[in-house]
Amino acid sequence: MPDKIRILLVDDDEDDYIITRDIIADIPGRIYSLEWTASFTEALTLINQRQHDVYLVDYRLGAHDGLELIKRAQEGGCTAPLILLTGQSNLETDEKAMRLGASDYLVKGTFKTFDLERSIRYSIEHAKNLAEIQDLNSQLEQRVAERTQELGEAITQLEKTNRSLFEAQQEIKKALQKEKELNELKSRFVTIASHEFRTPLSTVLSSASLIGKYKLTEDDDKRQKHVNRIKSAVSNLTAILNDFLSLSRIEEGKIYNVPTSFELMPFTTEIIDEMQGYIKVGQQIHYQHHGSPDLVTLDKQLLKNIALNLLSNASKYSGEGKNIYLTTEIASDYVRVKVQDEGIGIPDADQAHLFTPFFRAQNAANYEGTGLGLNIVKRYVDIMNGSLQCSSELNKGTTFTVQFPRNNSL
């Protein structure tokens, strides 16, 4: 017999409770236990008791609202899914709910038995996946702690055995520090991955649920809007995974500098053409080349990755209709690539930390990203024996300048 699923409905309207109770009663194949509270304060108390598997939260709760309840529940450490119920479909409310940690978003009066059952089932499964990620992180920290203790004991034994093994001791300490740094990096990876994955996954889930409600021809625009949201979320997930994969390959020493000779101008034009499908509405990339059109000898793939990353950032942090300027230059002893935007700029205090893994500038909190892009660019540039410089003015724009030796050697 399937386990009973305990549901708490937080809604100040008893009629809505009765309607929800009847809908849940029609769900086949599962045993559900529905409890109800109309009080915001009592709801917080019950959520903190961790006795329910899922929470249905009404948007309107007297002097409070459901978004505030979801935020306070998340701050209190709630791991069970919270599904927001509202009286009308509103994309802004939907996205805000997902950012605060809601698992799904349903419009009251429109969802049926199947919609509610599917939302509950998907939300519970999503919460289990996040719990597994956190458990994996805890296990990893435990294993590293045990290994750290073993290494510490080995160091103590070496000191007691023979003081002449000082160099060996130093090497072990370095290995210990490296392992601690690796643990911190993995911990930050798990934390950021679980956070960055949740928003696009929630977007896919909510849009997929809403698409099924638009069945008429005149609903095509609404359907397409949610299809576009799903595409955008999947694209964001792909970018996140690519960043993590690139960082992993760099850490493992699998990225090499393999220079070849090629024409810089046609190469740059191809990159601009590739970017056209990704820049925002009305944005334009203006390209200018200085110096001779001679061949250059550089790692073509790494240079392409660097240019695409810098152009993507220029588009991301600039508004619609803004200009992006791409300049290449070939001199007698160097090759230079410069990307300039008209975006939000970078605060002076943050510029010293731009190339640190997972670092996000203060004014970039509302933009999607892992904080790995510029770190990866910097490491690619280092592999190619080049230099990377940044200049920026808040609310006016940012310029990144990459420079390599004219004939880049291995």
Percent of the chain with pLDDT over 90: 29
Do 233 and 310 lie in a common domain? no
CA 335 to chain centre: 33
Indicate the range of 91-105, 296-310, 383-397 predicted with least confidence: 91-105
Q: Other C-beta atoms within 10 Å of 294: how many?
A: 12
CA distance 55 to 87: 17
Q: Is there a domain that residue 410 lies in? A: no
Instruction: Provide the number of structural domains found in the chain.
Output: 2
In sequence order, the 6+-apart residues with CB closer than 8 A to the CB of 402 are 306, 310, 336, 337, 338, 377, 381, 386, 387, 388
- Mean pLDDT score, 389-397: 94
77-86, 96-105, 196-205: range with highest mean pLDDT: 77-86
Confidence of residue 368 (pLDDT cuts 50, 70, 90): confident
- Determine the straight-line distance between the first and last CA of the chain, rounded to whole angstroms: 65
- For the cut 60, the answer to whether the pLDDT of residue 193 exceeds it is no
- For the cut 50, the answer to whether the pLDDT of residue 123 exceeds it is yes
In sequence order, the 6+-apart residues with CB closer than 8 A to the CB of 198 are 101, 126, 130
CA distance 223 to 210: 8
User: What is the per-residue pLDDT for 293?
Assistant: 82
Amino acid (1-letter code) at residue 93: T
User: What is the per-residue pLDDT for 1?
Assistant: 42
What is the chain's mean pLDDT, rounded? 82
Nearest residue to 122 (alpha-carbon basis) of 207, 213, 233: 207
- Mean pLDDT score, 88-96: 76
Do 244 and 391 lie in a common domain? no
Amino acid (1-letter code) at residue 158: L
Residue 391's DSSP bridge partners are 399
- For the cut 80, the answer to whether the pLDDT of residue 178 exceeds it is no
**pLDDT tens profile 283-317:** 999 999 999 888 899 999 999 999 999 998 999 99
Cβ proximity of 176 and 148 under 8 Å? yes
Amino acid (1-letter code) at residue 59: Y
User: What is the per-residue pLDDT for 77?
Assistant: 87
Do 301 and 285 lie in a common domain? yes
Amino acid (1-letter code) at residue 393: E
Q: Report CA dihedral (103, 108, 110, 111) to the nearest 10 degrees.
A: 40
CATH of the domain at 247: 3.40.50.2300
Q: Is there a domain that residue 277 lies in? A: yes
What burial class does residue 172 get, using C-beta atoms within 10 Å of its C-beta: 0-12 exposed, 13-18 middle, 19+ buried? middle
Which domain does 67 fall in, by range?
1-254
**pLDDT tens profile 317-355:** 999 999 999 999 999 899 999 999 999 999 999 988 888
Nearest residue to 310 (alpha-carbon basis) of 285, 281, 347, 335: 285
User: What is the per-residue pLDDT for 209?
Assistant: 67
User: What is the per-residue pLDDT for 180?
Assistant: 66
R_g of the chain, CA atoms, integer Å: 27
Nearest residue to 126 (alpha-carbon basis) of 83, 97, 93: 83
Q: Is there a domain that residue 213 lies in? A: yes
Do 217 and 102 lie in a common domain? yes
410: which 2 tokens?
């291995």
User: Given 3-state DSSP classes, what are the helix, strand and coil percentages for the chain, each rounded to the nearest 5?
Assistant: 55, 20, 25
Do 21 and 60 lie in a common domain? yes
Mark which of 192, 220, 254 sits at the end of a domain.
254
Mark which of 236, 254, 272 sits at the end of a domain.
254
- The pTM (predicted TM-score) of the whole model is 0.49
Cβ proximity of 357 and 371 under 8 Å? yes
Do 117 and 266 lie in a common domain? no
CATH of the domain at 375: 3.30.565.10
- Mean pLDDT score, 144-160: 80
Indicate the range of 25-34, 191-200, 356-365 predicted with least confidence: 191-200
Do 109 and 46 lie in a common domain? yes
- For the cut 70, the answer to whether the pLDDT of residue 152 exceeds it is yes
User: What is the per-residue pLDDT for 165?
Assistant: 65
Percent of the chain with pLDDT over 70: 83
Do 126 and 209 lie in a common domain? yes
Do 148 and 285 lie in a common domain? no
Mark which of 197, 229, 254 sits at the end of a domain.
254
Indicate the range of 102-116, 227-241, 364-378 predicted with least confidence: 227-241
Q: What are φ and ψ of residue 102, in 5° steps? A: -65, 145
Do 135 and 266 lie in a common domain? no
DSSP letter assigned to residue 354: T
Do 314 and 187 lie in a common domain? no
Q: Is there a domain that residue 55 lies in? A: yes
User: What is the per-residue pLDDT for 107?
Assistant: 84
Q: Is there a domain that residue 311 lies in? A: yes
Q: Is there a domain that residue 355 lies in? A: yes
- Mean pLDDT score, 54-82: 87
Q: Is there a domain that residue 2 lies in? A: yes
- For the cut 50, the answer to whether the pLDDT of residue 81 exceeds it is yes
Do 277 and 336 lie in a common domain? yes
Position with higher pLDDT, 106 vs 383: 383
